[in-house]
Structure 1
Amino acid sequence: MTNKIPHSVFSNILILFYKLKYENPPRCLAVAAIYTRKQVWLSTSLIRITDMASFDFSTLMTSLSAGELPADLPYKEAVLCFTLFMHTFEVYLECRQLVYLRKTSLPAALQGIIKEETFQKSRVYSLDKWNFSMVRSTYSLIEGIAIIWYELLPLLWNWTLVPLAAMGLTADHEIVRSIVFTLVYILITTVIGLPWSIYGTFVLEAKHGFNKQTPSLFVKDIIKTFLLALIFVPILEGLLIPIIQFGGKYLALWLWLFMFSVAIVMMTIYPTLIAPLFNKYEPLSEGTLRSKIEALAGSLEFPLKKLYVVDGSTRSSHSNAYMYGFFKNKRIVLFDTLIKQCEDNEELVVAVLAHELGHWKEGHTVRQFVSGQVVSFVQFGLYTVVRNTDAIFTSFGYSDKPALIGLLLFQFIISPIDHIVGFVFNILSRMYEFQADAFARKLGYSKELREGLIRLQEENKGAMNIDPMYSAYHHSHPPLVERLEAIDMKKDD
């Protein structure tokens, strides 16, 4: 007898979309089709997972004490069901956001501040991005399920024996095999993702006046990225895999030390060696803007060594500014688009940088880095448990336990925790944004920061109406309305 999802479940999905005013039947049916086409395996998976209700948790504790997970848990089915659950939840959030994007009036806090024409342009841009995102996420769901269910990655791993044989090597050469696997995987995913990148860049972004990238530059970026992979993948995996193979009982510590070192090295070489391969960085020319920025940095004892302008306009008209560097060697980078957008009032750029320097002064950058390292260390500790569990490898279709594949499977298993950690980090990030705004306000840039945030929102055609639940889950920065209200409230205190 074939198990199927009850019809009521399928109906509830459609009713949910309808109640949320999901007025796009073709896409609604496309999303619903994912569930109906996977009825057999999903119901079977649910049955196996439901069986866990009678699972003897003393067995779990015994396994954990031995440094592994139980052998009789449905790992692959659990990952697939969680993937569907998260997609359903995120579709629900997207539908909530769609209701807000379809609103034809500005939030009360922005009325009289944002021009109606600007609002309508940002609204159309946001709706176009929403449509594109929904189609792409639906495709990604189907692709992800197919990769796991049909065990395509194990097929790719087994195929790597072919190029190894051509090189006169055997399966015992795990490092070379892992490098081949990674590079081929990167190549395949790059090719598969090309249509989405092309449409997003040359259709969606171009339609709304943001894309400045030429086809030749687009191709060059792809080639450069793959060439960098050819350089860094062998180096990183050549060091990482032996650590996993011989790490012993201190594997988590060795992995953390390795990844910590990689993070430090990449933070050092990326701005000076890698980023210049894609963009041109030039010192900000002498003038009033440079003098104001240097004066601001000096007043805060910020060890500014270099002040650059990057030609972001060669790819997009979106704007940004950021800082980087260790200890007494700090650098600030301004996008040329930001300078152009604020050329009538340089104080707006200075106010934006006052906000960025607020992150430094309040220690946000260090806190985020340290908290990220703590999470990484805990995850590596959990990874050792996954690596020791043979059943996880066999559940996903692998006949052996390669170090690289263990890391890949760990990402699947740890996904629920990653979502929670990501949400917590968003909460912290939003709190830091408010603190950085307050710091800029204390420096006397309340008016300029307010105007600067509004200008950036207008120039980047950011969404004006945002669902609170959607924003809390997806955004690391608070919506414009919330930031303006916080600035005004502090100003009145």
Structure 2
Amino acid sequence: MIKKWALRAIIAYVLFGVFMYAYLYFLADSSIPDALKGTSADPTTFLDAKEIMLSEEYSKFRNLLFFLATPYEWLFYYLILIFGISAKFEDWAKKTTKISIVTTAIYLFWLSLASFLVMFPLSYLSFMMSKSYNISTQTFSLWMKDKLIDFWIEFAISFIVITVLYALIRKFKKRWWLGAWILSVPFSIFMMFIQPVLIDPLYNEFTPLQDKQLEAKILEFADKANIPADHVYEVDMSSKTNSMNAYVTGVGSNSRIVLWDTTLERLSDDEILFIMAHEMAHYVEKHIYIGIAGYLLLTLIGLYITAKIMERWITRRGQTWKVEKMTNISSLPVFLLITSILLFSVSPLTNWVSRYQEVRADTYAIEMTQNKDAGVQTFQSLTKAGLSQINPPYLVKIFRYGHPTMLERIKLIEEYELKQEDNGE
């Protein structure tokens, strides 16, 4: 019976992969509407034929990898449950020590290591493709260093969360999900507070922006936006990527304005100011806090649904999986499987909200800079640097894109200009 269900799961995954390959490579349409051909949103006006070909190839590969990776993770969790591997990890941990918190740490290490090794081929494939398309500039050793930092940071955070979670499950068997949600509120805010000053520096070197004239212009924008920042930081990303980015991160006194060095090297001051105005809009319009509120609401609903499904699954399948009850740490893959499925299912909604906020931020940048040409040039440059599709397929957009497509962003700038002219502004 176990082999039968394992085979069914593998076949389902393969069929899904075949469907997504057919959709992305043969069925989906990513062409530019006739009405926009020859405009600034048409890639033929700012990319050469080779760049257009490369952007299509690279985007299709990345999109396929995205749709393969998530259900691949589900398959991993499912198989280690039905083959009793999760239960074996718990047995190993209990044989090592009788101290509950140490047992949790040992179990979590084995599960994390297994997950890391199983997911590694996809991660490595993504890295090699990024190298071959000249997006990534990292050496393998530096890439592995980041992967290992990821592993230990995720392990440390997971250990804290899982230890508290299972303590709640043992104490409040019917209402543990509510306690977990209540504790997630301060924890989420705390993580956002320490991210810029403790976690981000583990990956990159942050230094004050060397171009003081540009810094003065950015801080002038920040002052208008009431952002509590005295410095602008630049981060060394050219050793890792040819892509460009900038962001405002953190909350309260830990807010930081950050520019990638690749952005500084490739964009003009006007284009950088447009990007910074966009990023500052998220702070001005409280998108960070709206995001926290939305996240907490979805977390409450998600934990409730997870609790109900988890209890039902373990009651029905626990004996087969050798997971005696929910309080066993070996039930963790059940929790992770359910939450991962729920997160993927709700991603079209969260991405839609994010895209709406990004449109608001783009509009704010247009109004603040009054430089629409800089906006168009910025999005064209970002497209070229990242080999992005101008008009990605529909499924890619709703499941992957937290930003509007480049076609939509450039079109917004043009339409906004026309509206101003029509209103006599």
* TM bucket, shorter chain: 0.7 to 0.9
Map of 1:260 onto structure 2 = 185
Give the alignment of 1:478-493 within 5 angstroms: 478-493=404-419
Contact 2:136-2:242 within 8 A present in 1 as well: yes
Give, in whole Å, the separation in 2 of the partners of 1:144 and 1:237: 19
Q: Which runs of 4 or more aligned residues in structure 1 lie more than 6 Å from their structure 2 counterparts after TM superposition?
A: 80-86
Map of 2:252 onto structure 1 = 327
Map of 2:278 onto structure 1 = 355
Matching of residue 370 in structure 1 with residue 299 in structure 2: no
Larger radius of gyration: 1
Q: CA deviation at 1:133?
A: 5.5
What secondary structure is seen at the aligned counterpart in 1 of 2:207? strand
Give, in whole Å, the separation in 1 of the partners of 2:286 and 2:359: 14
Moved more, 212-221 or 143-152: 143-152
Q: CA deviation at 1:94?
A: 2.3
Distance 1:232 1:83, change over 3 A: same
Give, in whole Å, the separation in 2 of the partners of 1:276 and 1:426: 28
Map of 1:299 onto structure 2 = 224
Give, in whole Å, the separation in 1 of the partners of 2:203 and 2:178: 35
Distance 1:192 1:469, change over 3 A: closer
Distance 1:178 1:91, change over 3 A: farther
User: What is the letter of the counterpart of residue 242 of structure 2?
Assistant: S
What secondary structure is seen at the aligned counterpart in 1 of 2:193? helix
Q: Percent identity?
A: 20
User: What is the letter of the counterpart of residue 24 of structure 2?
Assistant: E
User: What is the letter of the counterpart of residue 198 of structure 2?
Assistant: L
Give, in whole Å, the separation in 2 of the partners of 1:97 and 1:336: 39
Map of 1:177 onto structure 2 = 103
Q: CA deviation at 1:453?
A: 1.3
Give the gaps of 5 or more residues in structure 1.
Answer: 1-37, 46-76
Among 46, 52, 68, the alignment partner of 1:115 is 46
Q: CA deviation at 1:360?
A: 1.7
Distance 1:193 1:417, change over 3 A: closer
Give, in whole Å, the separation in 2 of the partners of 1:259 and 1:183: 22
User: What is the letter of the counterpart of residue 479 of structure 1?
Assistant: T
Give, in whole Å, the separation in 2 of the partners of 1:413 and 1:360: 33
Among 281, 301, 304, the alignment partner of 2:206 is 281
Matching of residue 458 in structure 1 with residue 381 in structure 2: no
Distance 1:241 1:107, change over 3 A: farther
Q: TM-score, normalised by structure 1?
A: 0.73
Map of 1:346 onto structure 2 = 269
Give, in whole Å, the separation in 2 of the partners of 1:234 and 1:175: 9
Q: CA deviation at 1:152?
A: 5.3
Give, in whole Å, the separation in 2 of the partners of 1:230 and 1:111: 45
Q: TM-score, normalised by structure 2?
A: 0.83
User: What is the letter of the counterpart of residue 85 of structure 2?
Assistant: L
Distance 1:292 1:416, change over 3 A: same
Q: CA deviation at 1:91?
A: 4.7
Among 351, 376, 380, the alignment partner of 2:303 is 380
> Which digits, 9 at most, give the CA deviation of each residue in 1:346-383, with x for residues without a partner?
01001011111112222222212111100101122223
Give the gaps of 5 or more residues in structure 2.
Answer: 420-425
Q: CA deviation at 1:436?
A: 1.0
Q: CA deviation at 1:309?
A: 0.6
CA RMSD of aligned residues (A): 3.4
User: What is the letter of the counterpart of residue 464 of structure 1?
Assistant: I
What secondary structure is seen at the aligned counterpart in 1 of 2:371? helix
Distance 1:393 1:152, change over 3 A: closer
Give, in whole Å, the separation in 1 of the partners of 2:356 and 2:50: 30
> Which digits, 9 at most, give the CA deviation of each residue in 1:19-61, with x for residues without a partner?
xxxxxxxxxxxxxxxxxxx9x7599x8xxxxxxxxxxxxxxxx
